[in-house]
Structure 1
C-alpha cells in the first residue's frame, strides 16, 4: 500500500566522530597479500579509515606466523600490525588457524586434531599475549573448507574445544567464535553435537551465495533476513544455552569483475541493511583492496576507489556507527523499506526488488533522498525507486508504526501474492500468473559461478548443474518436516533421452533423493514424485534443492509445474 511520509529535517550531515567500539556493524577484512604486515596495510587502510570503518577481522595471527619454529615465539609482526590499526582507530579480532611447516603431525591444510597439545599451547600464548587488546577469536576459516579430505565435524569439534579451553585459561574475558563456510548450519549442528556444545561465545558465517542472489536481484531478501533466525532455531535444538549468541559475517563480498562495479555497490548497502535488520552484530566486508582473491575490493588493484567505497562511506554517514533497526515495511506497491533509529534521527532505506521500478508520490513536506551508489540527492515529494538503495531522512516516528521486526515475521517474497506460514504446499506453475507461489527458481549458472568465484574447488564440489529452487522461508526453514515433491515434465524432443535426480539439503548436507528419473519418451506430460523424510532447508548455498541432469543432453526437458507438499 502507498504510505505518506512526512519529514522534519533536511540535509545530509556527517555523523560525529565515534569512539573505538566493537559494537559497530561496520567491519572490513583482507586477503592474505593485503594482511601479511604493516607494509600491506599501508596500501589500503588509510582510505578505508576515512570511510568510518572501525572493526578489522584479523591480524596475521596464524600458528606458523607466531611460532615459526617449535618453541620459538615471534610477536614483532603481529604487535606492529595491532599498533598500526589501533593508532588509526580500529579494533581487530584474530583468527586461530594454521598448520606450521615444522609440525609433521599436522599436514598442510589440515585441522591440528592430531596435535591438540601444540595447538592449545599456540592458542594460549596468542590470547595471553593480546589479553586486554583483542577480544574476539575465530577458530579456523570456513570449515569444512581448508581441512583435510578425511577430516570430519568431529575433528573440528575437538579443535574448537581445545581452543576454547586454552583461550579462556589465558583470558576469561575473551570471546571464542565457532564458524562454518557459507551458511552451512547443518555442519555447525554436527560440530556442536560432536562435542563443541557450550564451547563458543559467538558464531561466524560467510553467506556469499545468498548475497549473490541479492546481487542478481532474484528476490532473495527474505532468505537473507532468515539466516540468523534459522541459526537460532538450530541452536535452540542442540545448544539452548547458546541460542542467543552474537552472529557475525566475518567475510562477505561481491566480485566486481563478474557482476560490475555498480552491482557491487548496490549489494554492499543491501547486505548491511539486511544484516543489521536480521540481527547480525558485525559484517566484515571482503575486502579493502583487490589482492589475491580477484576484484573484490572497495579499492581496485591500483588503489582507486570503486563505487562500493563511496556507498560504504555514505551509509556510515547516514546511519552512524550504531543504527538500531525497527524492522521492514512495505513502501508503495513494489518497494521494500527498512527503518532505523540513528543518532541523527530516523532513516528509511528502500529499494524495489526483482528488477522493477516504482515512482512514489509522497505528499507532505519536502523529503530528502540520497542514492546510496551514485550519490544523487534531491528534495521533493516524489522519487523513482529501483534496485539501488535510497536513504530517506526525517521520517516522523508514527510513520514506522507498520515496521515489523524480523523476529516476528519475514517480508513476503517480492512479486509473490501469498503468505505461507500455515500452508501445506507451495508451487511453481507456469499456467498461473504469477507462476511462483511460495516456491521460487534461480538460474543454476548464477549460483555455480558464485561458488567458483568465492571459493574455488573448496566450494565447488557440489556445484549445481540443473535448476535450483527455494521455498519461501515462511513455509519451511530448518524444521525437518517430511515432504513430497512433484514435478510435471516432458521431453523437448521425444527421441532425446532426458532426466535428472533430485538433490536436497538434509541435516548432513546435500543428499540425493532416490534414484535417477528418466522422463518417458511419450510426447505428453509426465508426473514424477519424490518423498523426503529428512529435509533441512537452510539455503547454505543459496537454494534448497535442485534437479540435476548429467550433462546438457539430459536437461532437454520442459517443466510445467513443481509442487512441494508437507506430508505431516
Structure 2
C-alpha cells in the first residue's frame, strides 16, 4: 500500500530485499507476515516485543547477528534504536544520522515497529556533570529532542524519557529534576512532531518515583508509562508464589494515576525491559517468559519487550546465546505467538484447588489456557474430554483428558466450556492469594508447631519452603536467616499504594545461646525505601518472646522491588534470633 508520508519507499525496498525472508516467516510463524501494514505503522503496538543491550544495537551489522531469528518467530515491536544524545549529536550542532537511519531501515525491512530512547549526556555540555540528568542545560537537551524526533517522525513515534530513573541520575537529583526533563522533552517533541508519544519511566516498579515526578510537574506531559519489573518477575521465576504481586503491577499504576493525573489514568503501560537470568537455568528462564507474557497480557500491559534477544554486555539474559544458539526461551516465545496470536483477547482467570492459576485467552485459532502449579505443589486436572496440550519449551503437542500440573507452564488448546465460563466470571476481579483480604483490618504470618508459616494475607519470599528450615522453641519459630524469610509482602488487596496509618508487630526471641541479635525495619514509603524512625532494635534476651512494634504513617506499598518491608540485620545477626509471628494492622486515623 502506497502512502504519502514516505513509507512507500521503505515498503517497496522491503519487498525487493526481503521476499525470501517473508516466505520463511510465513511458513514458520503464523501471523508473522513481513512488511504487514501494521508492522510499518509506527504507532502500532502489541504484547510481543524485544530489546537489546548496547553492543547488539549499535549498527546494522550488530542487528544482522540476531534480528532475523527474532523476526522468524513473529516478534514485531523493537524497544529502541541507537538514539542516545552522544550518538546523534557528538559535537554541538553536528548531527550524525548514518547509523540510526541504516538500522531503522533494516528493522523496518524486517517487519519491526521501532521506538526511541531519549537518554544520556554529551561531553560538550559542560553545565551538567556526567551521569546526571541534563537539567542545567535544558535548551541544549530540547534541541536534541526536537532534532531527533523531527528527523525520525515518519518512522518512530514512541520515545522514552531516560532509562529507568532514578538510575543514571545524580546523587542529589530528585523526581522534581526528572519532572523538569519530562516537561522539556514533551514540549520539544510535540513541537517537532505533534503525533509523537512520550513515555515517562521508572526503574523496576518504582511507582513511588512516578508519583513524586507527576506531583513535581510531569502531570499531563506523557502519553505512556514504562517500567522494568525484573525483581517482581524474580519471585515468579523462583516459584515464590507471588503471582498476585505480578498481576497487581498495572492496577497499582492506574490507582496512582487516578489520584495524581486522572486524565492519564488509561495510558498504555509498557514493560520496555523484562527478563530472567539464564544462570537460574535455561528451563527456568523459559518458564518465567511464558508466565510474564501470560500475566502481563492478562493485566493489560500493552507490550513486553523482553530483555534481550541475544546475549551481549548485560549477562546471560538472551533468547539466544552469544553464538546465536537458540535457548528454550526462544522456542517458548515462538509458541506463545503461534498459539496466542499477535493480539490475544484475555478472557479471564481460573483457579484449581484454590491455589493453582490458569489464564484463558482467545488465541490465533481458538481458546488457549495457560496454566501451571503454584510453588512446588503438584495438581492433577481432569478435563472430561481429550484436549491438545502444548509444551512451550519444545512445541510438542500431546493429547490427553487429564493433566498433572507442575511449575512448568503448559498451553491447553480449545478449553472446555466450563473453564471458559469460570474465566469470564472472574475477568476483572483481582487474583486471590490464599483468601480475600480486601476488607481485612490486619494480615499476619505465624509459625505453626513445625515451623511452617500460616499465611493470612501476609507472605514471605520463602513461603512454604521454610518447613525444612531451622526451627526452635518447640517448633513455634524459625531462624531469622531463612532465605527470603525476613522479607514480607502484604496481599495487594489489603494495602497497595494508598497511604494509611499501619502498625507492624513482630514477636521475636534470641537463640538458645542468648547471642546478641537485632534488626531494623525497612519499608516502602512515599519516598521509596525507608528505615523506620525507631531505628535499630536489639532483641533483649532468650528468656521469653518479645513484641516489637512500629507505627508508620507514610507507608506506600507498591512492590517496586517485589516486596513491601524487611527486617534487616547487620553481619551474622540474622543467625541469632527467631521469629514467631509478624502482623500488619491498619490503624484508625
TM-score, reference length from structure 1: 0.91
- Once residues 465 and 52 of structure 1 are traced to their aligned partners in structure 2, the CA distance between those partners, rounded to angstroms, is 38
The superposition leaves residues 495-529 of structure 1 with CA deviations (integer Å, 9 ceiling, x where unpaired) of: 31111111100110011112211111142211111
1:28: which partner in 2? 50
CA contact (8 A) 2:350 2:426 kept: no
Change (3 A) 1:545 1:405: farther
CA contact (8 A) 1:334 1:358 kept: no
Matched, 1:157 2:187: no
1:120: which partner in 2? 142
- Once residues 175 and 349 of structure 2 are traced to their aligned partners in structure 1, the CA distance between those partners, rounded to angstroms, is 36
The superposition leaves residues 321-369 of structure 1 with CA deviations (integer Å, 9 ceiling, x where unpaired) of: 00011121113554211011123111111111111111212213x2010
Change (3 A) 1:554 1:46: closer
1:194: which partner in 2? 216
Matched, 1:269 2:296: no
Change (3 A) 1:115 1:387: same
Change (3 A) 1:239 1:491: same
CA displacement at 1:494 relative to structure 2: 4.7
Matched, 1:401 2:421: yes
2:440: which partner in 1? 423
- Structure 2 residue runs of 5 or longer lacking an equivalent are 1-26, 466-482
- Once residues 41 and 14 of structure 1 are traced to their aligned partners in structure 2, the CA distance between those partners, rounded to angstroms, is 20
1:390: which partner in 2? 410
1:228: which partner in 2? 250
Aligned equivalent of 1:16, options 26, 31, 41: 31
1:532: which partner in 2? 552
The superposition leaves residues 456-503 of structure 1 with CA deviations (integer Å, 9 ceiling, x where unpaired) of: xxxxxxxx9981000011111111121111111101135311111111
CA displacement at 1:17 relative to structure 2: 3.6
Corresponding residue pairs, total: 534
| Greater alpha carbon shift after TM alignment, 311-320 vs 16-25 | 16-25
The superposition leaves residues 300-337 of structure 1 with CA deviations (integer Å, 9 ceiling, x where unpaired) of: 11111111001001110010100011121113554211
Q: Alignment partner of 1:403: what SS?
A: helix
Aligned equivalent of 2:529, options 506, 510, 519: 510
| Greater alpha carbon shift after TM alignment, 525-534 vs 280-289 | 525-534
1:284: which partner in 2? 305
1:70: which partner in 2? 92
| Greater alpha carbon shift after TM alignment, 435-444 vs 84-93 | 435-444
Q: Alignment partner of 2:208: what SS?
A: helix
Structure scoring higher RCO (CA < 8 A, sep ≥ 6) equals 1
CA contact (8 A) 1:490 1:524 kept: yes
Matched, 1:301 2:316: no
- Once residues 431 and 240 of structure 2 are traced to their aligned partners in structure 1, the CA distance between those partners, rounded to angstroms, is 15
| Greater alpha carbon shift after TM alignment, 305-314 vs 340-349 | 340-349
- Once residues 218 and 355 of structure 2 are traced to their aligned partners in structure 1, the CA distance between those partners, rounded to angstroms, is 44
2:577: which partner in 1? 557
CA displacement at 1:110 relative to structure 2: 1.1
- Once residues 154 and 485 of structure 1 are traced to their aligned partners in structure 2, the CA distance between those partners, rounded to angstroms, is 31
CA contact (8 A) 1:203 1:245 kept: yes
Give 1:354-365 correspondences, 5 Å limit.
354-364=375-385
Matched, 1:143 2:165: yes
- Once residues 46 and 194 of structure 1 are traced to their aligned partners in structure 2, the CA distance between those partners, rounded to angstroms, is 43
Q: Alignment partner of 1:380: what SS?
A: strand
Please provide the CA RMSD for this pair: 2.0
The superposition leaves residues 5-51 of structure 1 with CA deviations (integer Å, 9 ceiling, x where unpaired) of: xxxxxxx9963344334221000000011101111111111111111
The superposition leaves residues 204-261 of structure 1 with CA deviations (integer Å, 9 ceiling, x where unpaired) of: 000100000000001111000100000011111111111111000000000102x110
- Once residues 526 and 236 of structure 1 are traced to their aligned partners in structure 2, the CA distance between those partners, rounded to angstroms, is 41
1:4: which partner in 2? none
Change (3 A) 1:62 1:382: same
- Once residues 522 and 272 of structure 1 are traced to their aligned partners in structure 2, the CA distance between those partners, rounded to angstroms, is 48
1:41: which partner in 2? 63
Matched, 1:520 2:540: yes
